[in-house]
Structure 1
Amino acid sequence: MRMIQALWGHRSFIVGSVKREFQSKYSNSLLGAAWTVIRPLMMIIVYTVVFSQIMRAKLAGADTPFAYSIYLCAGILTWSFFSEIVGRAENIFIENANLIKKVNFPRLCLPVILIANASINFAIIFGLFTVFLIVTGTFPGLVYFAIFPVLAIQILFSAGLGITIGVMNVFFRDIGQLFAVVLQLWFWVTPVVYPMSILPSFVQGLVKLNPMTNLINAYQGILVNQQWPDWYSLWPVTALSIFLCFWGVHLFRKHVGEMVDEL
């Protein structure tokens, strides 16, 4: 509770930092915030060209011309949101070492600023994707709003994992390098570009242990099949997300003094 009060007391600092980071990111760019859309769009185009003919027939219950493209968007856009948070969080305290040493503020403002900026980027591109769904007549209707609780779980999971990795990386710098490799492998063991049904049954059992699998499946079920998520299947990742958030904050509060010395 005290931590939340401290963050709220520094809300002007957080909002100002979010604005500065967003503006500085695109200040000398001709295309500006359009790069937020271009990068994932290029990934989606490449995967569509490479995999569409192979995968389209494998999508159960998908009978529209845009089915595989929507399937890819549902997976890639939400995965990119996850990877942006955890990928940047691993170095968040190291990159802001000078600020941490010189300015007195709740250090957990830094992950909050990171998550806010990633959320803005995600909102821009997912908003455009939603417009695409409406224009093409593939908008899923009321079930679309089930995305928001799934998204909340994902943000909790990303934040908890990111803070934990970020704290550990201050003391053991190899963790950041190792996690970058793990994140790349993690993408391919998550059913983002392929449906899980094409995997052998014993591999499916292993892939289901991946906490991102049920989240990505939930998005794809909502947007491709227009189905409500299996909420029961999301309980394990929800429990893990809450645990990681508490553990990450505990780890941070326990070692924050040592972190300043290490930085």
Structure 2
Amino acid sequence: MFESLWRYRHFISSSIKGDLQGRFVRSRFGGLWFILHPLAQALIFSLVLSEVLKAKLPENDTPAAYPIYLLAGMAAWTLFSDILTRSMNVFIEQAPIMKKIAFPRLCLPLIVGGSTLITHLLLLAAIFVIFIFFGHAPGLTLILLPLGILLIAALGFGLGVILGVINVFIRDTAQVMTIALQLLYWMTPIVYPINIVPEQYRFIVELNPLTPLIGLYQDALLFDRWPDPATLIWPTALGILCVAFAFVFFRRASPELLDVL
């Protein structure tokens, strides 16, 4: 399976380019929408929570701290949710191509994952421009971002492939995950710091594997502090397990995918 993916590496890279071009082929702003959507959402949250509700970060009284905190968390969440949702739907969306062209089916989630990673890098570049506007310069901890990107992408890809296969056989999967992702979003400290969560409920947020990964982004982009390595053990182990299980699960189910589609 890995050998076949390597043989089709040029097909994957050209398909990533085609995916990026095709998503906004008739749009005047083109690829800018990759950046504008999450930035606009973060801006709305910032205005409502920091200006209207006067939300503040306990550790930082800088006026721009909360918008930067939101931007960091939203960037990490967007990477995870986009890889997960697109991988979950890719087999159904690309069913006509799968029936007409012979290629390793696992190329499809790799293509959407690669496309999402490129848009994420563009989003980070836009966020750095906004940081300059705020007069905020990330510190040396910025070198942690590749690790955060890798772990979030692994978690989103693994879960996305598993759910994508299940979604082919049980079409309710995508509908259930839409609700589950909304719940997971509010269980992750993106719009609020974890230290304001009541003690009796904090363990739920801490069990969330995205919590330390979102925190890694926030530490690197805002607080300029190094995360506790122990907190990354759980999401790293889960990401590796999800990716490994996704490959095994896909290999077992792939002979029946086309028949069901």
> Normalising to structure 1: TM-score of the pair?
0.95
Match of 2:144, SS state, is: helix
Q: How far 1:65 sits from its partner (Å)?
A: 2.1
* Alpha-carbon separation, structure 1, partners of 2:114 and 2:133: 28
**Hey, what does 1:66 align to over in structure 2?**
64
Q: Tell whether 2:84 aligns with 1:86.
A: yes
* Alpha-carbon separation, structure 2, partners of 1:160 and 1:12: 22
Deviations 1:198-241 (A, max 9, x none): 11011111111111111111211222211012221011111011
Q: Tell whether 2:130 aligns with 1:170.
A: no
Q: Tell whether 2:207 aligns with 1:183.
A: no
* Alpha-carbon separation, structure 1, partners of 2:106 and 2:201: 38
Q: How far 1:4 sits from its partner (Å)?
A: 2.6
* Alpha-carbon separation, structure 2, partners of 1:186 and 1:254: 29
* Alpha-carbon separation, structure 2, partners of 1:55 and 1:262: 52
Match of 1:90, SS state, is: helix
Deviations 1:42-96 (A, max 9, x none): 2111111111144643x23323221001100001111011111111111111111
**Hey, what does 1:218 align to over in structure 2?**
216
Q: How far 1:152 sits from its partner (Å)?
A: 0.7
Would you say the 8 A contact 1:164–1:251 is kept in 2?
yes
Would you say the 8 A contact 1:146–1:229 is kept in 2?
no
**Hey, what does 2:153 align to over in structure 1?**
155
* Alpha-carbon separation, structure 1, partners of 2:130 and 2:4: 40
Q: Tell whether 2:29 aligns with 1:31.
A: yes
**Hey, what does 1:143 align to over in structure 2?**
141
Would you say the 8 A contact 2:144–2:220 is kept in 1?
yes
Would you say the 8 A contact 1:14–1:112 is kept in 2?
yes
111, 125, 128: which one aligns with 2:126? 128
Deviations 1:143-175 (A, max 9, x none): 111111121111111110100100111111111
Map 1:6-21 → 2, pairs under 5 A: 6-21=4-19
Q: How far 1:135 sits from its partner (Å)?
A: 4.8
**What amino acid maps onto 2:82 in structure 1?**
E
Q: Which runs of 5+ in 1 are unaligned?
A: none
**What amino acid maps onto 2:209 in structure 1?**
P
Match of 1:91, SS state, is: helix
**Hey, what does 2:235 align to over in structure 1?**
237
* Alpha-carbon separation, structure 2, partners of 1:139 and 1:112: 33
Residues 1:242 and 1:249: Cα distance change in structure 2 (over 3 Å): same
Deviations 1:82-136 (A, max 9, x none): 1111111111111111221221111110011001110111111111112332454
Would you say the 8 A contact 1:191–1:213 is kept in 2?
yes
Residues 1:228 and 1:155: Cα distance change in structure 2 (over 3 Å): same
**What amino acid maps onto 1:146 in structure 2?**
L
**Hey, what does 1:202 align to over in structure 2?**
200
* Alpha-carbon separation, structure 2, partners of 1:131 and 1:168: 40
Residues 1:55 and 1:154: Cα distance change in structure 2 (over 3 Å): farther
Q: Tell whether 2:36 aligns with 1:44.
A: no
> Normalising to structure 2: TM-score of the pair?
0.95
Q: Figure out how many residues of one structure are paired with residues of the other and give that number.
A: 260
**What amino acid maps onto 2:17 in structure 1?**
K
**What amino acid maps onto 1:11 in structure 2?**
R
Q: Which runs of 5+ in 2 are unaligned?
A: none
Residues 1:55 and 1:237: Cα distance change in structure 2 (over 3 Å): farther
* Alpha-carbon separation, structure 1, partners of 2:137 and 2:4: 41
* Alpha-carbon separation, structure 2, partners of 1:19 and 1:224: 32
**What amino acid maps onto 2:169 in structure 1?**
F
